[in-house]
Amino acid sequence: MLYQGFILFPLLGVSSFLIPRFLGFTNRQAFPESHTPPPGWTANALTVVSVGSLILLGFWLEHTGLTKVGGSIRALTAAGYLFFSLPLYRLPKIPGFLPLCLHAGLWLMIIGLCLPIITDYRLIPLHTLFIGGFSLITIMVATRVIFGHSGHGFLFKSRMLFIGIITLFILISLDLRITGDLFPLSRNIHLALSAVSWMIAVIIWATIVIPKVLVPDPET
């Protein structure tokens, strides 16, 4: 639960503030600069506080043993807030692999959160949430931020094929991790291949993206 909360809260914050811009959607968090709260800010702030409180309540209920109730509250609250912040039923308005894969990561996060509501499997939803959701979203957002602050924003106009390759390896890792739980006799092989696939994705990402961290932002 601590691992979920540690990543879930920042991703919900990023999803409502930065990700709309990354996907080409309208940003509901874009308020004009002002010495006093602009119109709509207070209602938005109360919404965010309510969402955070309900998610914390869900974690607490799970801790007390009400696993199904707590998980349902957390999942429905987080999913509802994502749909409130982003029109995820639409494809990204910005072309290229990065917006599309980020969009897929958001859907996998929602699926991973909501699966425990309809199934008694505990591990499959967690694999979907952490591998398909959290890790994919984190890599996409990190790529977008690093490129944007290192003078490589021009790459956003390209398809960035390496992003598609990275996503493919992450999805293969997710598939192998899930099938490892479904086929006990070959579980160790599935887990090993899943780990290798995920590491390949990270190595490709780090080789291409991390060197850009050393490039100063031309706008500063």
d(CA 56, CA 62): 10
Inter-residue contact 102 to 23 (CB < 8 Å)? yes
Give me the pLDDT at residue 191, please: 94
Q: Which amino acid is at 180?
A: G
Report pTM.
0.89
Inter-residue contact 190 to 178 (CB < 8 Å)? no
Closest CA to 155 of 169, 167, 145: 145
Inter-residue contact 201 to 140 (CB < 8 Å)? no
DSSP letters, 74-135, are: HHHHHHHHHHHH--TTS--SS-SHHHHHHHHHHHHHHHHHHHHHH---SHHHHHIIIIIIII
Give me the pLDDT at residue 141, please: 92
Give me the pLDDT at residue 5, please: 79
Inter-residue contact 212 to 152 (CB < 8 Å)? yes
The parts of the chain modelled with pLDDT lower than 50 are: none
